[in-house]
Structure 1
Amino acid sequence: MSRDVPIHSWPGSYYINNEKRWESGTLSLSRTMVCFLSGLSKNCLVSFRLSCIIEIKMESSSFIFSTLTVLEEGNVKHWFGSLKPNRVVVYNVLEHFWRERLLSPTSETQGAECQISKGRELINLVTGAQRRLEDTGRVLSHQGEQFDCMMQGLEKIDSDLGVADKLLSELESPPWWPFGKFPWKAQQEAKAEDAARAAAVLSAGKGSSRNKLIISIPAVVSRGGDSDLKPGCLLVLVSSLEVRDTNCQLLHKFERNEIDEIRVCTPYEITVRQRFIGKPDICYRFLSAKMPEALSVLEMQYKKKVEFTSEYTTFKATPCSSVCGKEGTHWRQGLRQTGRETELPLEVPAGELSKLQVQVLQPSVSQAEAQELKQMLLQLKNLALEAETELERQDEVLDVLTDSTDRSTMQIGKHTSRMKRLL
């Protein structure tokens, strides 16, 4: 039985074919396993890996009882009934994690199933770091675009302040001024049209940058409770979070400033809440096998609003169990002990190498893995240099924004004093 912390559990019953009876208990889904625990004896009646599932269906038992069936390799069929809140919810969650497991055979769940080499472990670590750095680069790029929009807005403010300065100069001029006011009105109308055109371009640029997609993941979505978990997707945009169904129809959109809380229950489950006064909160729950990919982006965008629960801490502290886990642990401990107690000679006569000594002499990282690691580290270096360049550019933009803001504040103060004198 897997020792993994369950991602989700449902009360129900399991049909024991040998005894021709139903046993009540709990159906649990973990990172790599599906198991059913008896409610009376607390023993595991059945457990199997997600990778061994061939088919998941909703059927009827004796044409009366609604059940969920799981077909395992070897043509072994498991029957689950009386599932709460209902079998459709259980089917949606199991089918989602099973499908994502099949579509992502190189994910961390596969790494939990068997022992992998040190080189492959290093490659997985570097791959995760590269993915996080790419997400950070995308967020930095969108942040830079927002800074550029702010610069355009300040330039428009400077232009408007220049027009206001000229208008105030006209108003401050004496009544005997010989020039007429018709040219001034024409000039004012032309500048107003230019300002309106620039504002339209600026708003269009802001809208396109605000609606840019950072990451999209398939998920099982529910509004509120557990009884309406349905397949859909979660879209993380620059300025919002979008909830969509399987047909990409928008279910709800959380603006960035409207989100009050993002609660992380497990690495695969989060809830997003928007609070109101005088009416019910809007709360959506998301279950996804690809949630760890979106969590890295959400942590950067909503640092003060992300809350990790105690279940998340327990989940992260529990290592993935595997069939060969104990054997691999005992083998590695024996290998270390053997390495400490015996020293391999530098020259060993042919035919006298034991299997254990041959395994000790084999390199932990192959040449191909070392070459792959080298290429990935070079990509990481390039990504880090690009991020550093973007950060330096944004620092310069921030300095310009600060100077422009101070200058605009001084000009607004001067114009306010001039208008008070005119009044």
Structure 2
Amino acid sequence: MSREVCVHSWPCSYYLEPEKRWVPGKLSLTSHSLRFTTDKTGEALVSFPLSSVIEIKKEASHFVFSSITVLEKDHLKHWFSSLQPSRNAVFTIIEHFWRELLLSPSEAPLPVTKGKQLTGLMACSQKRLEETARVLHHQGEQLDSITKGLDKMESDLDVADRLLTELESPSWWPFSSKLWKMPAETKSNGGTSTASPKALGKEGVVVRIPAVIAQGTASHVKAGSLTILVSGLEIHDSSSLLMHRFEREDIDDITVHTPYEISIRQRFIGKPDIAYRLISAKMPEAVPILEVQFSKKMELLEGGLTPGSASTSSPAEKGCYVWQADPEEAEESRPGH
């Protein structure tokens, strides 16, 4: 697991069944596995692949409060409690990656030949090129629309110049009626030539991925989706209801924290910024598209490397982001409260 990219790391306690006691430490998640390390020695007490998990539940009993249980195929049950920032936030993220792994068709550990690897790389490259071509085509349409708009502005300036000339000319000037008629013709012609561009830049969906969404620094997270359009970004909840739409020009920065986690922000003066943080097992597919559309607004942090170029340091040592807990949720997550 140490060679995989850390998605998240949370302070929590693990129930050590042989010794009948709770051990404080950190629970770390990658795209394919879970691992618990102790705070005292840094020893990995538990490490298992997500593919071996058959059930993830939120449970509680008379001696365990606000816990998450993970059941493996061999019916080995793991208890995690005192989860920070909250049990719900941790559960939502782990469940998302687990479900996406189950739905993925290419997770079987079959031997892969060089030919299959090359074929897979070619198919992936073709998909990226198609998505990039779609974005570039829309940008070309936008440039055409801008060119027509500039032509219309030039025509309008010519009209304004002629009107000013008409107003400044004395009433006995013999060419005044001609000057008055020409702008009208130019304006009508300009109107017909620029009526169609509005129908052109109609948006299309480039890619849509499932995601875990948090707004600002809240510990309340929810399942939903991120939709990348040629004209902007949309964030929907699990019921496909629109939570927020970012127009292309409204986005001020997109920060890539890890290959699986990004934040999107729109700045304001005199009122709070609009910011969303998104985690997704499919985010590595979306980041290259975002780089094409928002290259000048993208910021790649040290942890935001591609999965293939990840460092071999321990996930717990990487800068895994943890949402700050609300006081009520932090209190709820402690055993005995």
Common fold: TM-score over 0.5:
yes
Aligned mates of 1:98, 1:224 — CA distance in 2: 25
Per the alignment, in what secondary structure is the counterpart of residue 61 of structure 1? coil
Aligned mates of 1:306, 1:274 — CA distance in 2: 13
Q: Deviations over 1:265-299 (max 9, x none)?
A: 11111112223334433321111111111111111
Shift of the 193–55 alpha-carbon distance from structure 1 to 2, 3 Å rule, reads farther
Q: What's the offset of the Cα at 1:260?
A: 2.4
Aligned to 1:244: 236
Structure number with greater CO (CA < 8 Å, separation at least 6) is: 2
Q: Percent identity?
A: 50
C-alpha contact 2:58 2:69 (8 A) present in aligned 1: yes
Aligned to 2:323: none
C-alpha contact 2:259 2:305 (8 A) present in aligned 1: no
**TM-score when normalising by structure 1:** 0.64
Aligned to 2:11: 11
Aligned to 1:82: 82
2:277 is the alignment partner of 1:282? no
C-alpha contact 1:37 1:44 (8 A) present in aligned 2: yes
Aligned to 1:310: 302
Listed as ranges, the matches of 1:8-407 within 5 Å are: 8-62=8-62, 65-106=65-106, 110=107, 115-154=111-150, 156-157=152-153, 160=156, 175=171, 201-206=196-201, 208=202, 211-225=203-217, 227-313=219-305, 316-318=308-310
The aligned amino acid for 1:203 is K
C-alpha contact 2:58 2:66 (8 A) present in aligned 1: yes
Aligned mates of 1:2, 1:105 — CA distance in 2: 24
- Root-mean-square deviation (CA, aligned residues, Å) is 3.3
Aligned mates of 1:167, 1:241 — CA distance in 2: 43
Q: What's the offset of the Cα at 1:173?
A: 8.0
Per the alignment, in what secondary structure is the counterpart of residue 6 of structure 2? coil
Aligned mates of 1:98, 1:238 — CA distance in 2: 30
Aligned mates of 1:180, 1:2 — CA distance in 2: 83
The structure that has the greater radius of gyration is 1
Aligned mates of 2:220, 2:149 — CA distance in 1: 45
Shift of the 266–199 alpha-carbon distance from structure 1 to 2, 3 Å rule, reads same
Listed as ranges, the gaps of 5+ residues in structure 2 are 314-337
Aligned length: 311
Q: Deviations over 1:234-269 (max 9, x none)?
A: 122223222221122222222323322221111111
Shift of the 64–7 alpha-carbon distance from structure 1 to 2, 3 Å rule, reads closer
Aligned mates of 1:217, 1:312 — CA distance in 2: 18
Q: What's the offset of the Cα at 1:317?
A: 3.1
The aligned amino acid for 2:242 is L
The aligned amino acid for 2:281 is A
Per the alignment, in what secondary structure is the counterpart of residue 60 of structure 2? strand
Q: What's the offset of the Cα at 1:104?
A: 1.7
Shift of the 92–43 alpha-carbon distance from structure 1 to 2, 3 Å rule, reads same
Shift of the 314–132 alpha-carbon distance from structure 1 to 2, 3 Å rule, reads closer
C-alpha contact 1:220 1:287 (8 A) present in aligned 2: yes
Listed as ranges, the gaps of 5+ residues in structure 1 are 322-423
Aligned mates of 1:216, 1:273 — CA distance in 2: 19
Aligned mates of 2:131, 2:197 — CA distance in 1: 26
C-alpha contact 1:89 1:226 (8 A) present in aligned 2: no
The aligned amino acid for 2:231 is S
Q: What's the offset of the Cα at 1:316?
A: 4.8
Aligned mates of 2:105, 2:193 — CA distance in 1: 50
Higher percent of residues as strand: 2
Q: Deviations over 1:26-49 (max 9, x none)?
A: 111112111111222322222211
C-alpha contact 1:85 1:226 (8 A) present in aligned 2: no
Per the alignment, in what secondary structure is the counterpart of residue 22 of structure 2? strand
Aligned mates of 2:285, 2:248 — CA distance in 1: 19
C-alpha contact 1:234 1:244 (8 A) present in aligned 2: yes
Q: Deviations over 1:199-247 (max 9, x none)?
A: 66443444x2xx3322221111111226122111112222322222112
Shift of the 15–159 alpha-carbon distance from structure 1 to 2, 3 Å rule, reads same
Per the alignment, in what secondary structure is the counterpart of residue 89 of structure 1? helix
